[in-house]
Amino acid sequence: MSLADTALIVIDAQESFRHRPYWRDDDVAAYIGRQQALVDGAKRSGIPVVQIFHVEESGVFSEASGFVTTLAPLRIDADATFRKRRHSALVGSGLDVWLTTHGIRRLIVSGVRTEQCCETTTRHASDLGYDVDYVGEATLTFPMVDVEGREWSAAEIRARTELVLAGRFARIATVEEALAGMPHAVT
């Protein structure tokens, strides 16, 4: 794999999330910094940047809400933009056709939420035969409470997501490693 057959996928980095009850500012600045570094590095390297927006019929994820826009202050000059209605960016969005048409075989996955759409897209892409770099530091999520009442921190959720993806569905990479296009050793 090389940078020539690579695309950066930025999943659901959108204002809709600021209007959800679970939104917290705690990790946003760090996420924005790493996500912007990834986007800017991809652009400098000639890697196409693909932006994915999640849309629903009503609520803060509806087009009518005005919140289906890039999460501020991110600056994403996308080479392609798709809208999805499922957790995987590869279901019903047209992304799969675009990737095939452009000869893309390696995906760099980033965005919002770590354990939901980012993880689901990573698993799906791996199952379809793509090499995937999962850049956890360029993903954002929020604490969650399990059925027993325990609150899992965003850091714990990210660690768990990276654990279950590593070596099975993706290579866990830093921004710098993903942009360097290092060879994969996923088994």
Give residue 92's Cα distance to chain centre: 17
The domains of the chain are located at 3-180
Q: How confident is the model at residue 187 (pLDDT cuts 50, 70, 90)?
A: very low
pLDDT for res 66: 97
The SS3 assignment for 21 reads coil
| pLDDT, averaged across the chain | 95
Mean pLDDT throughout 171-186? 82
The SS3 assignment for 166 reads strand
Question: What topology does CATH give the domain 3-180?
Answer: Rossmann fold (3.40.50)
pLDDT for res 181: 78
The SS3 assignment for 54 reads strand
Name the token pair of 63.
């087009």
List of residues 6+ apart from 51 with CB closer than 8 A = 10, 13, 70, 76, 78, 80, 81, 82
Helices (H) and strands (E) in the chain, counts: 5, 8
Poorest-pLDDT segment among 48-62, 105-119, 151-165, 173-187:
173-187
Q: Is 149 a residue whose pLDDT tops 60?
A: yes
The Cα 34–Cα 156 span in angstroms is 18
